[in-house]
């Protein structure tokens, strides 16, 4: 049996990374950054986004190293999992940015200026969208179904397979949170 290649990832490196050894981080970056970058580039379709995801993956991995358990998974698999999440986050962010630009273009007058009641409505919708994003999950999804899909509490409960009482509680707390946030925002104007 041939000895492992010098660049092969080992259980010792798993343990060193979990223990906070910066040399293990550097070795992980050296070995896995090309894979992370390739996965991100193929998924996102652009090099700049792939560069950002690659950096984000290793920042997340290092910051959350205390949650890495070498007995449950090897570091390469753990990093690929983080990569998938970072790619999904980047795609979601890109979609939100695109929607914001499209909404702003729709609100623009034919001469290219933005203003009037359509712009106010757009600003309110963008503000609400951002606030719903801040709520997290499942609150954000519940509130979107209530606001945008006009579903009843019972319909939301069935669609998300959550108890009715849980849906009602999330809606009540989310509305209180939104009220506090929006009152603070309007006081700033």
- The interaxial angle of helices 139-147 and 164-188, nearest 10 deg, is 80
Mean pLDDT of 8-29: 90
Report the pLDDT value the prediction gives residue 30, as an integer from 0 to 100.
93
Q: Find the range with the poorest average confidence among 39-43, 79-83, 184-188.
A: 184-188
Return the percentage of the chain with pLDDT > 90, whole number. Answer: 30
pLDDT band for position 3 (cuts 50, 70, 90): very low
What are the structure tokens assigned to 136, written together? 């997290």
pLDDT digits 0-9 by tens, 95-104: 655 666 555 5
Domains in the chain with CATH codes? 11-107 (1.10.1740.10), 112-189 (1.10.10.10)
Which pLDDT belongs to residue 7? 53
Report the chain's mean pLDDT, rounded to a whole number.
79
How far apart CA 50 and CA 44 sit, in angstroms, is 7
Query: Considering the entire predicted model, what is its pTM?
Result: 0.49
Dist CA 98 CA 41 (whole Å): 19
If you average pLDDT over residues 125-134, what whole number do you get?
Answer: 72
Give the residue ranges of DSSP H helices in the chain. 11-18, 22-44, 47-63, 75-107, 116-135, 139-147, 153-160, 164-188
Tokens read off for 63: 């910051």
| Of 142, 139, 106, 140, nearest in space to 122 by CA | 106
Looking at 78-92, 111-125, 161-175, which range is the least confident one?
A: 111-125
Condensed to tens digits (0 to 9), the pLDDT of residues 78-94 reads 999 999 988 888 887 76
Distance CA 159, CA 140 (A): 14
pLDDT-derived band at 121 (thresholds 50, 70, 90) equals low
């Amino acid at each position: 049996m041939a000895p492992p290649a010098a660049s092969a990832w080992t259980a010792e490196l798993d343990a060193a990374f979990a223990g906070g050894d910066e040399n293990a981080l550097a070795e992980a970056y050296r070995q896995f950054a090309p894979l992370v970058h390739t996965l991100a580039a193929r998924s996102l379709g652009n090099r700049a986004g792939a560069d950002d995801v690659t950096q984000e993956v290793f920042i997340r991995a290092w910051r959350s190293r205390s949650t890495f358990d070498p007995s449950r998974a090897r570091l390469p698999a753990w990093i690929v999992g983080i990569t998938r999440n970072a790619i999904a986050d980047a795609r979601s962010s890109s979609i939100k940015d695109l929607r914001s630009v499209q909404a702003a273009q729709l609100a623009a007058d034919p001469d290219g200026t933005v203003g009037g009641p359509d712009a106010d409505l757009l600003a309110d919708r963008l503000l609400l969208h951002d606030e719903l994003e801040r709520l997290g999950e499942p609150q954000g999804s519940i509130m979107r179904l209530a606001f945008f899909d006009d579903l009843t509490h019972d319909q939301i409960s069935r669609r998300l397979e959550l108890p009715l009482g849980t849906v009602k509680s999330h809606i009540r707390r989310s509305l209180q949170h939104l009220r506090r946030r929006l009152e603070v925002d309007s006081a700033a104007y």
